[in-house]
Chains A and B, each alone.
Chain A
């Protein structure tokens, strides 16, 4: 079990910088998600933690020990690859026992451990089968078995569910999470699926273009995004952005949006110029006498809720409202934003302005 600390880690491939100065900490026993769009450097970050790639600069600590220059075999971690990487020339039992054999463990001890793991993962009946004929889910289990059999300090998983179909993904995600809860081992999990990250993770790091945009608990990140990128990447539909020219002073609790006064959480830093107001769709309500107006342009029915798209003078706004509420297309409605939940971003830098709402979550330097 281990705490993992990443400090100013940077990775360059020739002239290309895949990871820029990442810093975050994974606490002992956490289920930690590395989230970001394709090519943002998640795999590279994970591979550096695992010792498959050397950082260009920066430090990686596992349990307080600097491991940056230690080879993978000495870090006592397990890695689950996206394509599982089961050794095709060995059967399931051999695959699972392979990491133990390398440690020179006695044969009886190995078979006891393998049996144990097989029972936990419910793959006892597969032990003597070749890996070639296994289904995706079974391969996944065998890959997990190979990872957990050694009882390593930490598990690293690179999109382990990426190769499975949607239905099975959900099932395996639950199983994985349950397995983690039972074993309590530090797990770092890479995914580009924000929903998966929100559902499974104790904590999430959101990366973009090699930069750590935000790191924290799922709900904190969802409620109080640090940047416009995070706000947009997390949540579906994503946060509405209303761009406007305006200003807010320290302590100010409202902005002028096209002549309409909109209340926001009290500002802890002031800014004037191009600003963006961020509103989650579920924080938009319809009120006939609200001064900010929008015209309904589309309605998407989702069962208990519906997503209503409105055109306003600051662009399209999506609202998530109860399906019970009748909405007609082309109807003109008044929009009410839940003042306690709004975020204000600097439109140029994309960074959020610290306010009474997010100051507890975002410890800006």
Chain B
């Protein structure tokens, strides 16, 4: 436990700090609020000028993002009879009928599988590698660590063409496994370096105590080191997930029918039936949820984690 000796800030200092923080939060959160609000607007409200702050909310955008719809003539509609479900009713007033589910759910699932899959893989490999680098005599350790770091020195997309060709000949194009591998490869350097920093901070004595207490090296690793590296693992996982989740360029290039993730899919919504901004916003909002939930769940660790161990227990 650390003891802080900080002089109590004055009331004015508190106010200034408060205003700055709230101001900054507003600036960063405003686009987010805009997107969320647009998701609940009608298409005409969404493009109204001046922008509407108050509007009658509708879930049309959400219905639209999950469905494909067809326009029918008045006679055809009459022939169909009364709509049976609330979402049928909702689209019927525009003279449309739902002709089937859209591919959004599928793309979203792909994002979840690829995003979390690569994060898990990254953390598992990263933790083991970082532990080895931190605790064992690895020949050429510094060179290896530098090499690992150097893979981050250029933008990953710079190697898009070679990867595209490799994936094609390996049959990894447009597969979940391919995308998981790719994102893991990109994130692994970050994961190894971050985690090594965290594991370096854990005194070796803990493991030695466990070794003497009769545990094997592996038991000492997962019973003593892992729980203490939880903070580091959580923050590293968030970084990895955010990258994999938001990645657009590789996803456009390497995926199409089967393993396409949500980021390249969402813009394609625009074309389906005119400029359906509420549907795009609804898709984006849903897309935000997993990362937000994940971050909120791990935020306790994150706070300590992103200070990179500067705060000692």
Inter-subunit contact B214/A99 (CB<8 Å): yes
* 30 chain-A/chain-B pairs, Cβ below 8 angstroms: A50-B212, A51-B211, A52-B208, A71-B211, A72-B208, A72-B211, A72-B212, A73-B211, A73-B213, A73-B216, A77-B212, A78-B212, A79-B208, A81-B205, A81-B208, A81-B209, A83-B203, A85-B206, A85-B208, A85-B209, A87-B209, A87-B224, A88-B206, A88-B313, A98-B210, A99-B213, A102-B213, A102-B214, A132-B313, A146-B209
- Residues of A36-86 at the interface with B, using a CB-CB cut-off of 8 Å, are 50-52, 71-73, 75, 77-79, 81, 83, 85
Within 8 A of A (CB), among B196-247: 203, 205-206, 208-216, 219, 224, 227-228
A81 to B214, CA, bound (A): 16
How many residues of chain A get a CB closer than 8 Å to chain B's CBs?
24
What A residues does B11 contact at CB under 8 A?
Answer: none
Complex Cα–Cα for A246 and B208 (A):
53
A73 and B208 form a contact (CB under 8 A)? no
B215 CB contacts on chain A under 8 angstroms: 73, 102
Contact B313 A52 (CB under 8 A): no
A133 at the interface (CB under 8 A from B): yes
Find out whether the CB atom of B214 lies under 8 angstroms from the CB atom of A85.
Answer: no
A154: shortest Cβ distance to chain B, in Å?
11
Does B1 touch A at the CB level, under 8 Å? yes
Q: Is A103 an interface residue (CB 8 A)?
A: yes
> In the complex, which residue of chain B has the Cβ closest to the Cβ of A53?
B208
CB nearest neighbor in B for A149: B213
Contacts of B216 in A (CB 8 A): 73
Q: Contact check, A79 vs B212: say whether CB atoms are below 8 A apart.
A: yes
How far is A91 from B205 in the complex, measured between Cα atoms in Å? 17
The answer to whether B313 and A85 touch across the interface, beta carbons within 8 angstroms, is no
How far is A79 from B204 in the complex, measured between Cα atoms in Å?
A: 14
Bound-state CA distance A217–B211 (Å) is 33
Bound-complex Cα distance A71 to B216 (A): 9
On whether the beta carbons of B211 and A85 are closer than 8 Å, the reply is no
- A87-B224, A88-B228 known; A73-B212 Cβ under 8 A: yes
What 11 new A-B contacts, CB under 8 Å, besides A87-B210, A102-B219?
A: A51-B211, A52-B212, A72-B211, A79-B208, A79-B209, A79-B212, A85-B209, A87-B224, A89-B227, A98-B213, A102-B214
Closest residue of chain A to B226 (Cβ to Cβ) is A89
Chain A 328-343, CB within 8 Å of chain B: the 1/0 string? 0000000000000000
Residues 174-209 of chain B, each 1 if its beta carbon lies under 8 Å from chain A, else 0: 000000000000000000000000000001011011
Residues of B within 8 A of A85 (CB): 203, 205-206, 208-209
**Least Cβ distance of A91 to chain B in Å?**
13
**Which residues on the A side are within 8 Å of B203 (C-beta)?**
83, 85
How far, in angstroms, from A249 to B89 measured CA to CA in the complex? 120
Measured in the bound complex, the distance between the Cα atoms of B210 and A51 in whole Å is 13
Q: Which one, A52, A103, A132, contacts B214 given CB within 8 A?
A: A103
Taken together as a complex, chains A and B put the C-alpha atoms of A133 and B1 apart, in Å, by: 6
Residues of A within 8 A of B214 (CB): 73, 99, 102-103
Contacts of B228 in A (CB 8 A): 88-89
CA distance A79 to B212 in the complex (A): 7
Instruction: Identify the interface centre among A73, A77, A81, A150: most chain B CB within 10 Å of its CB.
Output: A73
Q: How far is the CA of A95 from the CA of B11 in the complex (A)?
A: 44
Residues of B within 8 Å of A81, CB to CB, are: 205, 208-209
> What is the CB-to-nearest-CB distance from B231 to chain A, in angstroms, rounded to a whole number?
11
- When distances are taken between beta carbons in the complex, the residues of chain B under 8 Å from A146 are 209, 213
A99 to chain B, nearest CB (A): 4
Q: Check B206 against A87 for contact (C-beta < 8 Å).
A: yes
Which residues of chain B come closer than 8 Å to A133, judged between CB atoms?
1
